[in-house]
Amino acid sequence: MGMTITEKIFARAAGKTSVKAGDIVNAKIDGVMCHDVTTPSGVSKLKEYGLDKVFDNEKIYVTPDHFQPAKDIKSAELHKRLVAWVKEKNIKYFYPLGKAGVCHALLPEQGHVRPGEVIVGGDSHTCTYGAFGCFSSGIGSTDLAAAIATGELWFKVPASMKFTLNGSLPKGVYSKDIVLEVIRRIGTDGALYKAIEYVGPTIKELSMEARMTITNMAIEAGGKNAIIACDETTEEYLKGRLKGRQDWDVFQSDPDAEYVHEDTIDCSTLEPLVALPNLPSNGTPIGECAGLEMDQCYIGSCTNGRIEDFRLAAEVMKGKEVAIRTIIVPATPGIWKQCQDEGLFDIFYSAGCVISAPTCGACLGGFMGVLGSGEKCISSTNRNFVGRMGDPTSEVFLANPATAAASAVEGKLADPRKYL
C-alpha cells in the first residue's frame, strides 16, 4: 500500500522508510510558530521544570498578534514576557510591533514555510501552512514548550481524507466558499484527527492566498491538518522569499494511497455561501438568507485578511458608503502597505470603514470590534461559535470578503454578484 503526502512527510521527519495511519512516531520539527497568547505560558513551564532552552534559535518564529497593540494591562504583560524571552534566547526571527502581523499570514509572507516540513504552532489555525505541501498543525502550550526545547514531538499519524475539486469557480464564488462547502458536507467533527488532502483541477486555478484560506479552516472540521501538494504556483510564491535554506522536499501521494473518505466537488456549481450561527458547518446559499439585517462587518483575520481579499472588498465598495460599522484589518504590515499603495484605503475611507493595524483583534472577541448583546456580524473570519466575537447573545455569519463587503453596503446579508 502506498503513502499519502502526510504519511511521507512523517516518514521523513521520523527517519523511517514508511509509516501508516495510526502509527506513533517521534518527528523532528522544522519550525515552531509562537505568538503572544500561548507562548509565555509554555516558556514558563520550561523554566519551572529546568528545561529553559531552545533547540534552534533560527527555527522559532515569533510575533505578537492576538492582542497587539496591547489592549490592556494583562496583554501588555504577555508582550513584555514574550520580548524578554526573545532577547534572552536570541531568537533570530522576531517581529515586534510595527513588523508584527497575524501569524498565519506573516510566516508564509516572510518565507518561513517550506514544502515537506513539519511545522507546529501554539494556535489551532497553524494548519494554514499545509497549503504549501507541508504538515502543519496547532498544539497546546505544553507541547509548544516541548517543541521549543527539544525540536521533537510525538504524533499519531492521521488517516487521510481526499477532496477532489473540479470546475472553475463562477463569479462571486471564492476559496472561502469551497471550504464552507466541505465543512457543510462533513460537519465540524467530520475530519476529527484526520488529514484533509485537496486535489483536482480547481486547485491549479487558485493562488497561494486562496489555498491558504482553504487549509486554514481544516480545524473547523476537526482536522489535524490540511494539505495541498506543492506545484508551480507554490514554487513561484516561494522564489526570493525563503529565509534560511532555499531548498525543499516535494511529496506526492501514491496512486494506491489509502483514504478513509473521498468526495468530489463540482466547484462550477457553487454559490456564495454564508455559514449561519453558530457553526461553520451551517453553510447556506446567499439566495436563501439574503436580507437578514446586520450590525457589523469585519474583513480580516488569518482566513481572509490578505491583499486579494481587500481587492475584492474594494471592488464591491468603490463609490459606495457602508450602511453598518465596517472594520478592515490587513493581516500584516506588508498587506497594509499594499492596500495603501493600491489606493484601497481611499476606497474604504470614502465608504466609511474603520481601518486597523494588523491584529487578530475581534476575530476571537478580543478587541477592535467586539459585539454587544444581540448584535449580528458578517465576517470573513473562520469561527462563528456562541460568543466567539463578543456577547453570548451576539451572532456571527461567515462569508467570503465580497459577500461581507456587499452586506456592509446594504446593511443586511447581500449577494456580492450584483456588485462584481
Segment 131-135 shows an average pLDDT of 98
Question: Which has the closest alpha carbon to 222: 187, 196, 192?
Answer: 192
pLDDT value at position 1?
84
E strands in 106-244? 118-121, 135-138, 152-156, 159-166, 194-199, 225-228
pLDDT value at position 245?
84
Segment 213-233 shows an average pLDDT of 98
Angle, CA 23 vertex, CA 18 and CA 24 arms, to 5°:
115
pLDDT value at position 410?
98
Q: What is the pLDDT of residues 18-49, one digit of tens each?
A: 999 999 999 999 999 999 999 999 999 899 98
Q: Can you give the pTM of this predicted structure?
A: 0.96
CATH 3.30.499.10 boundaries in the chain: 5-241+259-265, 275-419
Q: What is the pLDDT of residues 392-404, one digit of tens each?
A: 999 999 999 999 9
Question: Which has the closest alpha carbon to 404: 320, 294, 277?
Answer: 294
Classify domain 5-241+259-265 at the CATH superfamily level: Aconitase, domain 3 (3.30.499.10)
Classify domain 275-419 at the CATH superfamily level: Aconitase, domain 3 (3.30.499.10)
* Rounded Cα distance, 366 and 346, in Å: 27
Q: What is the pLDDT of residues 160-215, one digit of tens each?
A: 999 999 999 999 999 999 999 999 999 999 999 999 999 999 999 999 999 999 99
**What are the DSSP calls for 322-340, one per residue?**
-SSEEEEE-SSHHHHHHHH
Whether the pLDDT of residue 288 is over 90: the answer is yes
Q: What is the pLDDT of residues 318-337, one digit of tens each?
A: 999 999 999 999 999 999 99
Alpha helical stretches, state H, 249-377: 286-289, 301-304, 307-317, 333-341, 344-351
Q: What is the pLDDT of residues 305-322, one digit of tens each?
A: 999 999 999 999 999 999
Confidence of residue 140 (pLDDT cuts 50, 70, 90): very high
Segment 143-161 shows an average pLDDT of 97
pLDDT value at position 206?
98
pLDDT value at position 17?
96
pLDDT value at position 244?
85
Q: What is the pLDDT of residues 86-125, one digit of tens each?
A: 999 999 999 999 999 999 999 999 999 999 999 999 999 9
Segment 269-296 shows an average pLDDT of 98
* pLDDT, the chain, mean: 97
